Every structure is written in structure tokens, then in C-alpha cells.
Structure 1
Amino acid sequence: MSMSTSVPRSVTTVRLPVADDLSVPYTRTEICAEAREAARVVLESGWVTSGPQTQLFEGEFAGLVGARHAVAVSSGTAALELVLRDLRLPPGGLVLVPDLTFCGAAQAVLHAGLRPLLVDVEPATGMPTAATVRRAVRAFGRPEALMALHYAGAPAPLRELGEAAGLPPHRVVEDAAHALGTFLGGRPVGALSRAACFSFAAGATLPIGEGGMITTEDDDLAAGCRRARLHGMSTDDWRRHQPGGAWQYAVEEPGLKANLTDLQAAIGRAQLRHLAGWQRRRAVLAARYTARLSGVPGLTTPRPPTAGLHSWQLYVLRVGPEYPLRRNRLVARLAEHGIGSSVHFIPLHRLGYLRRAALRPPEGLPGADALFPELLSLPLHPGLTESQVDRVCAVIAEAEADPGPGVRP
């Protein structure tokens, strides 16, 4: 009996939205032609999961950032959890986490059996300072570790934050989700600390769709994360199935299912060849935004770092009280003109689960609370054109001149 391929009448087919639905999409994932061909080769090879492409990607990525080791994993969040687990901290130990970060960072702490202690941020940078770290430490005592986010791609002051927390350098974990291409003091993020955790999400400077990478100089940490990313197994499928390989394996400690596939790695390797050009393009577009928006009353454009290099994964504008529209109304105004935008991020203490699960200083988190209503991320990706940037800026400037409904009282 043959099976019908027609769609039942009760099923409604829906066209999924795509980036082209907006005249200026907030983000658009760049997948180069070489990556498409590399993916085809892997799909036809008969081996799709972690294997030779993953190993090559790790080596090339480590070389790019100047690290001894790179360990490919399924996401930036998984990278953070694996590194925190490898620190072997006491259960329930406190980990300092910026209040202004992606929720996955705090969840990685919780999944590692630890507890986030939220740290306030400076509105000028969106990142913690030595002073906000000391306030959190005074309230709850010295933490076990600190997670430092290079917010939007600007370099975080790692040494100052670690010293303010009273922690040795190996207890500072870099959340480098935004920071591939970021430099601090002439050195690239990825070779600055015991461990840096990168993301290859769809909007990242190196987009694969999903994926992450741990970079480290520590042989033991690299070996431990390689085991832990695949259930704690002593050897992976690829090595067991090679000529002369043994099918046996040992499991001496718990692990995750957090490996990267060869399909993803092949895409990542091809994308790496375009990274330098894409980053130059991001910098050009960011400079164009700043040149056109810095004179608009009520807007604050991002400051370039004084001691490093910005990756410009995000272009975060601040919509201050002098601007005639509230941030949310400006988001709506941009959408009316076919322009996408976003907000990075909702402070963790405003998210119900994390408000309950995380600790926060008794005086609250006033910096994050003041900054959050002003944050607006504008479109920024290598495929964006100068005319699109100019269109975004024109709509923002026109709103300043003619705000219409929704003006501030």
C-alpha cells in the first residue's frame, strides 16, 4: 500500500520568516561558498560526527588565537559549564557573573553545581568594574571563581576584576562569546587566561549556526574537557573505529553530550578563511554608525576600547532620556520601516528563575537597572551595506526630529 504525500486538510502550512522579510534585517548568517562545499563533502564521506574535521578545526582555531589547545564543543554555554566543572570547585560555591549577560552564562554555573553571584555593571561599558566586584564580595565573601564577559566584543579588564575578587588568575573564566577578534593589550582573547569560551552561534563573528570552543594553555584542562564533552568517555568514536583502534573505553567521571560534529567543524574551518575580512567589515560599519549617530541628542554610541581592539560582534546604542522616544518605541519605529533590532541583554536579576536562583548584592544592581531601558542593538553583520546603515541612521535621526506618537512625557 502506498502512502499519500498530500498535506491533510487539517494541517495549515506556514511560510517561515526569513531575513529578507525585512529591508534591513537585524542579523543575517554569512555562510561562504567554501563552507557549503565543505559540508557537502562531509555529508558524502560517511562520517558526520566528531572526527578528523573537528581535530583540524581545533588546531586551526588554536593557532588563530595563539593558544596551546582548543577543544570544540556544542555551544558557548557548554564550554562555560565544562570549564567550571573542571575547576573542581566545592558544590554550591559562588561564581561572580555579570548581571548584564546572556542567561546561558548563569545557567552554566547552576548546571555545574555552583551558584551565581550577580555583579553590577558600569553603564558606560556594560561590564563590571573592580568597584562593583568588591561590592559583591563584601556582601557574600570571597567567591570561588569569576566569569568575565567581553561585552559586545569590547575587552574586559581581566586582571583588575580577578584582583578585586581576591582570586588567582586560573579562577577567572573568560566568556568570550562576543570576543573572537577582540584584543587586550596587544594579545588576542583566547590566550589571556586559563580558559576562554567562544560561541559560534548564528550571529557570532564566526557563525556556524551552533557550536563553541574552549581555548587553554593547560594540558590537564584540555584533556579533561575533551573527555567531559562526550560523557566522560576515555576515547571517542573516531579513534575507536580507526584501524588498530580498540572498542573498549572507560568512564571514570561524569560528562555531558557536548561534542561538535564534523559537519559543523568543516563549516567552521571554511568560515575561518573569511574571518579577517568579515571583522574588518564590521569595524567599517560600526565606524559609519558612530559617525552618523554621535551627534544625535540623547544617543550614546559605544566607546572604542582604550587598551585593545573591539570585535564589533554587537553595536549597542544607548537611548537616553534626552531622546524623544523611549527605547521600546524606537524599536517599534524601526520595525515600521522594515529595520530589525534587538536588546542585549535583559539583566539576569529580572528573569524569574535566575532572580530566585542567583544571589545579588543587598543594595541591588542599580547600574544594570539604569542601563537596561536604554540598550538597543542595531543591525551589524558583514552582509550589511553602507546604504542600509545610512537608512537605519536616517530613521533614528528622523524620529529625533519628528517623534510622533509615543514621545516621552
Structure 2
Amino acid sequence: MRSATPRRAELVEPIPFTVVEITPQARAASDRVLASGWITTGRETLAFQREWADQAGAAQCVMVSSCTAAIELCLRALELPPNSKVLTTTTTFCGVVNAILAAGYRPVFADLAHPGEAADVADSYMVSERTVREAADRAGGVDAMVVLHFAGHPADVEALARAARLPLSRVLEDAAHGIGTSVGGRVVGGISQATCFSFYPTKNLPMPEGGAITTDDAAFAAKLTALRLHGMTADAWKRYLPGGSWQYTVAARGMKANMTDVQAAIGREQLKHLPRWQARREEIRARYDKQLAGIPGLGLPRPTKRGRSAWHLYVVRVRPEFGMARDDLIAYLTERGVATSVHFIPAHTMPAYAGFAPPGGLPNAEAVFEEVVSLPLYPLLSDAQVDRICAVIGQAHADAGGAS
């Protein structure tokens, strides 16, 4: 039985799904660049590239305008034949699928792990070697793959590449959630051909917008650098520096996806706070675990043994034993001032991608989608707020008459 909606006078301060922390140092850096007279790609972007390559354990870094642009640029740089088949999980953001299509390729959707093969709750949100192999076989083989580190949990990139029968040179990593993730002791950023990061406001390194590509392949990085600015061989920084030349050539059909120095200056200062923010995410994760453990029907995302999670998201599963459906729990939390989200609606169910959906759908992803909800998780979330969220979830279970 659902409890009554709280009266307006009883409502407490809302808990947003995310709150962005832009440090005073980042604000000052932005002001400094805006006053400098050079605000597009330049010295700050070059410095941020070096610093991010070090952070990600990679030899090369190319800063871009978004993670979606990063994925499209990498796919273009692979120079596959038109209509090549690119495998990815169906539980992903639509930007990944749009990037595959924009590059002139065809998405092949893999299902999430089968229930019996998920080693932990986190694994049930990701593809497995078996489901990747099934998707590749269904497509008659694939030409490339985009591996997602969902919610910050590490995917076994090398094992998935073998399952897809692909060399690592044809594998890209979507690390939009993976800033701070490690796989078997290796920081995500230098495992596959290229790794794509997001600096969106909700991400582990919050910025107004931005993305990065890391790779150990210098030639690939040079190609990406040209492609991110229309395919031009020299950007404005090179052309207008003392001794620079106005001349350039266009060696390939590129796109407009460069990062500006304003963004880069903010990112460089934000990066200095990443260890503190990551540590706070881990504290919040542990607090959720402790207080939500033991609630029947509530599946928690336990740490995986595969590596270190960045804990970008805290995703729980609302099973029948909880006593109310996922959508009812979301409504219950919303009524009590707690914002939530859902990651993600399976891509193959979207009208825009219906032509790529396999016959019979992808039942594992569809079943998981019906049960998942993402709880607030960000460094500025207080212990008191975490406690309140957990209390509301516990009360929801009690009000619904769930299993004991």
C-alpha cells in the first residue's frame, strides 16, 4: 500500500540528482583566458592534453568538444568501408549509436549478460563475452566494437575483443562513465585503440562541456587532431603563431569538434580536485551499501573484482520482492523530494534505430531496464542527504508491504 503524498508544508529541501562543483580556481582560470585575447584551441588545450594523457596512462591525447564527437572521430579515423558493422551494447546513451551512424556504419546491438553468468550485480548491467559472441555471430561478424564502462564499472576490454573476434586496434572504449576506472590494475585510457571520455557537468570531472580521446598510437592521434577541425592540417594556433603560415590543406573530410582554451583552462583546474572527488564518491557508495543492504528485492551494485569502479552512477535494481515496481519507487521518491534517473533505455527499442533491432529483441536488457533506477551520487551530496534517501527507500519498501 502506498502512503499518502506529503502535504506541501511537510516537504523538505529537495535532493537533486546532481549538483555541479566548479571550483573558484576553475572560475578564475576561465576569466584569465577570456581576458587573454585567445579563447579558442591553443596553449591551454595543448597543456590539458598532456595532463590528461598522464592521468589516463596513455601516450597521446586529443581534446574534443564532447564524448559523442570523440566516438565519431575515432570511428572515422578507423577508415572502415561504408556500412561496416560496429558492435556495442544496447544499454547505452543514444549519442553512441548516432556516432556510429554519422560515421557511415551500422550498429550491431549486444544484449546484457544472461542472468546466470553475471558474476555480480554490476555485471548484469553490461555485455558479457557470451552476448558479444552471440551478437557478432548474428551479424555474420563485425568490423569494430565500442565497449562501455557502464556506471564506471570496468569492462574486460581484452576478453570482449576476443569474443567479438576483433584485434584491439578495432576496439574503442566509451569511458564517458569511466574517469578513474581501472581494469586489472590498468587505468582506463590506454588498453584499446582509443578511449573516449566525457567532461559533461554530471560526469566525474565536471566541465561546461568537453571530451577527450587517449591512445598510444601517435599516427592515429595525428589523424584525430586533423579530423576534429574539418580535416585541416593546421589549426588557428599553428597558423597565427609568430612564424606560422596561413597555408593549410584538407587531407580528409573532418568535422568541427575542437575544444576551446576556455574549456581547457576550467578542465585543468578541475583535474586537480579529481582525487578528492573520487574518494568522496567511494564514501557515498559505501554509505549506500551499508544502509540499503538487507532490503529484500533491492539489488545493489557491489564492487567488482575485475578492477576499480569510478562510481559514476549508483544503480539499484527494484525486483518484485521489494513490493513496488521501479516506476512506483521513482514516483515515491519524487514525491518526497529525491530526484533519480534511469540509465539507459535500451537503444534497440528507440524508433530511430528500429531497423537495427534483432528479431525477438534483446530480452536481458529489456528486463533489466524495467528494474533499474540511478540514485544521486556526486561529491557535494552530504551524509545527511544519503541517510535521508536510504530512509525514504526503506519506508517505501515498508509501505508497499514488500517481503521481509
| Same fold by TM-score greater than 0.5 | yes
1:65 aligns to 2:56 (yes or no): yes
Normalised TM-score (structure 2): 0.93
Q: Structure 1 CA distance, aligned partners of 2:302 and 2:193?
A: 28
1:7-406 to structure 2, matched below 5 A, reads 23-122=14-113, 124=121, 125=123, 126-356=125-355, 358-360=356-358, 362-403=359-400
The alignment yields a C-alpha RMSD, in angstroms, of: 1.4
Give per-residue Cα distances to partners, 1:133-172, cap 9 Å, x unaligned. 1111221211000110000000001111111111111111
Q: Structure 2 CA distance, aligned partners of 1:63 and 1:140?
A: 38
Counterpart amino acid of residue 385 in structure 1: S
* Partner SS for 1:322: helix
* Other-structure match for 1:5: none
Q: Structure 2 CA distance, aligned partners of 1:138 and 1:236?
A: 43
Counterpart amino acid of residue 316 in structure 1: V
CA contact (8 A) 1:69 1:222 kept: yes
Q: Structure 2 CA distance, aligned partners of 1:319 and 1:292?
A: 16
Deviation of the 1:42 alpha carbon: 0.7
Q: Structure 2 CA distance, aligned partners of 1:290 and 1:170?
A: 38
* Partner SS for 1:28: coil
User: What are structure 1's unaligned runs of at least 5 residues?
Assistant: 1-20
* Partner SS for 1:346: coil
Q: Structure 1 CA distance, aligned partners of 2:307 and 2:178?
A: 11
Question: For the structure 1 residues 253 and 274, does the alpha-carbon distance in structure 2 shift closer, same or farther, using more than 3 Å as the test?
Answer: same
* Other-structure match for 2:4: none
CA contact (8 A) 1:67 1:190 kept: yes
Q: Structure 2 CA distance, aligned partners of 1:403 and 1:42?
A: 55
Percent identity between the two aligned chains: 50
Counterpart amino acid of residue 25 in structure 1: P
Give per-residue Cα distances to partners, 1:351-406, cap 9 Å, x unaligned. 110123x243x3431110110011100000000001000000000000111139xx
Give per-residue Cα distances to partners, 1:250-286, cap 9 Å, x unaligned. 1121001000010000000000000001000001001
CA contact (8 A) 2:348 2:361 kept: no
User: What are structure 2's unaligned runs of at least 5 residues?
Assistant: 1-11, 116-120
CA contact (8 A) 1:116 1:359 kept: no
Deviation of the 1:304 alpha carbon: 0.7
CA contact (8 A) 1:97 1:119 kept: yes
Aligned residues: 384
CA contact (8 A) 2:323 2:397 kept: yes
CA contact (8 A) 1:22 1:340 kept: no
Q: Structure 1 CA distance, aligned partners of 2:13 and 2:269?
A: 28
* Partner SS for 1:235: coil
